């Protein structure tokens, strides 16, 4: 009887995912489990939100000669699981990915699905968070995106064994606004911003490590690039890898100031600053050295023990 109930629940979940995908400008690729972040309406969600859609226009810049999806009007956040192939040795590490987009849209392929493909190739499970936008951050301007991130971390740990994930090796990786979100959850994990719902909210939402790529909102340009007081690292903030280009129009001070805050809190951190690169390149390779940053992340993950030590 229990088996039949589980089959019915699985079928209902699959139907729900299909319906979500049909109303979206970005349905996840077939073969990947997608679940809602919230069992019902997300906290503080507006009534009758506009339909989720791809907001990309012909005027949007190409990245490395290729277009990207600008997913907007996200009111139903989801998690999509990308499982690393060949992980037959037990539970493996996982990374929850936060695409960027200024808290207005999500660059869901450039800074989402393409990232999961890379992580899977490196032997790392990926969980892509489609968090709420627009105008859902930076915290505390709006708590919505950080609520989604906190809830996502609890869900990943709740489903860890089922998904082949080591709950003690779950990190985050974010780009631009998503980089700010990675820093925000690295410094706001002791208490949920919402009323607990179920067992997932009883589990830690602290990342075990964080990768912050060309972040915004971590240094205040209108205050001579002072550190953002709402992002305050402590000794409990997880080890962090940061990368940004000096010519980034979002300002490299975001990376530098956050690194210094981590250093002052005695948090193990690695900072990579490149002369050129601009903003929003994701993982797409160009002739610029900054686009080799994923190799640096893989080396760092071996160094901090998330991935096994490289054989000599």
Measured in whole angstroms, the distance separating CA 193 from the mean position of its chain's CA atoms is: 18
Q: Determine the pLDDT at residue 59.
A: 83
Q: Determine the pLDDT at residue 98.
A: 98
- Taking the C-alpha atoms of 231, 237, 241 and 247 in order, what is their torsion angle to the nearest 10 degrees? 10
Q: How confident is the model at residue 309 (pLDDT cuts 50, 70, 90)?
A: confident
Q: What angle do CA 201, 206, 211 make, to 5 degrees?
A: 135
Whether 96 shows a pLDDT value over 50: the answer reads yes
Please compute the mean of the pLDDT values over residues 202-219 and round it to a whole number. 98
Q: Determine the pLDDT at residue 5.
A: 40
Q: Out of 9-18, 170-179, 231-240, 257-266, pick the least confident.
A: 9-18
Provide, rounded to the nearest whole percent, the portion of the chain with pLDDT above 90. 83
Provide, rounded to the nearest whole percent, the portion of the chain with pLDDT above 70. 90
Q: Are strands 226-227 and 219-220 parallel, antiparallel or unpaired?
A: antiparallel
Whether 294 shows a pLDDT value over 50: the answer reads yes
Q: Determine the pLDDT at residue 311.
A: 57
Task: Round to whole Å and give the CA distance between 243 and 116.
Answer: 18
Q: Determine the pLDDT at residue 227.
A: 97
pLDDT per residue over 3-39, tens digit each?
444 333 343 344 344 333 334 447 888 889 999 999 9
Q: Determine the pLDDT at residue 61.
A: 83
Computed over every residue of the chain, the mean pLDDT equals 91
Please compute the mean of the pLDDT values over residues 184-202 and round it to a whole number. 97
pLDDT per residue over 244-293, tens digit each?
999 999 999 999 999 999 999 999 999 999 999 999 999 999 999 999 99
- Which residue in 230, 206, 233, 208 sits closest to 217, CA to CA? 230
Task: Round to whole Å and give the CA distance between 76 and 40.
Answer: 9
Whether 100 shows a pLDDT value over 90: the answer reads yes
Whether 158 shows a pLDDT value over 80: the answer reads yes
Task: Round to whole Å and give the CA distance between 242 and 229.
Answer: 19
Q: Which CATH number fits domain 30-42+52-303: 3.40.366.10, 3.40.50.2300, 3.40.50.1820, 3.40.50.170?
A: 3.40.50.1820
pLDDT per residue over 107-141, tens digit each?
999 999 999 999 999 999 999 999 999 999 999 99
């Amino acid at each position: 009887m229990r088996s039949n109930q589980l089959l019915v629940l699985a079928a209902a979940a699959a139907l729900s995912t299909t319906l979500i995908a049909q109303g979206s400008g970005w349905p996840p690729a077939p073969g990947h489990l997608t679940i809602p972040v919230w069992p019902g309406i997300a906290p503080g969600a507006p009534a009758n939100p506009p339909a989720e859609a791809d907001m990309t226009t012909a005027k949007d810049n190409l990245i490395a000669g290729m277009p990207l999806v600008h997913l907007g009007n996200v009111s139903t956040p989801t998690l999509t699981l990308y499982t690393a192939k060949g992980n037959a040795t037990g539970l493996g590490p996982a990374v929850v990915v936060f695409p960027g987009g200024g808290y207005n849209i999500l660059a869901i392929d450039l800074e989402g699905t393409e990232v999961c493909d890379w992580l899977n190739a490196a032997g790392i499970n990926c969980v892509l968070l489609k968090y709420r936008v627009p105008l859902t951050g930076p915290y505390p301007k709006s708590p919505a995106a950080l609520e989604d991130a906190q809830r996502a971390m609890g869900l990943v740990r709740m489903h860890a064994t089922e998904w082949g994930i080591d709950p003690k090796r779950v990190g985050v990786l974010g780009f631009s606004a998503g980089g700010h979100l990675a820093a925000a959850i690295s410094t706001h994990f002791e208490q949920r911003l919402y009323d607990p719902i179920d067992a997932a909210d009883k589990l830690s939402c602290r990342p075990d490590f964080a990768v912050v790529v060309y972040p915004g909102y971590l240094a205040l340009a209108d205050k001579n690039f002072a550190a953002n007081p709402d992002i305050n690292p402590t000794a409990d903030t997880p080890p962090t890898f940061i990368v940004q280009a000096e010519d980034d129009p979002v300002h490299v001070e975001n990376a530098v100031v956050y690194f210094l805050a981590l250093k002052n809190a005695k948090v193990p951190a690695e900072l990579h600053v490149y002369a050129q690169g601009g903003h929003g390149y994701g993982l797409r390779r160009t002739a610029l050295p900054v686009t080799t940053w994923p190799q640096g992340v893989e080396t760092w993950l071996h160094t901090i023990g998330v991935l096994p030590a490289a054989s000599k």
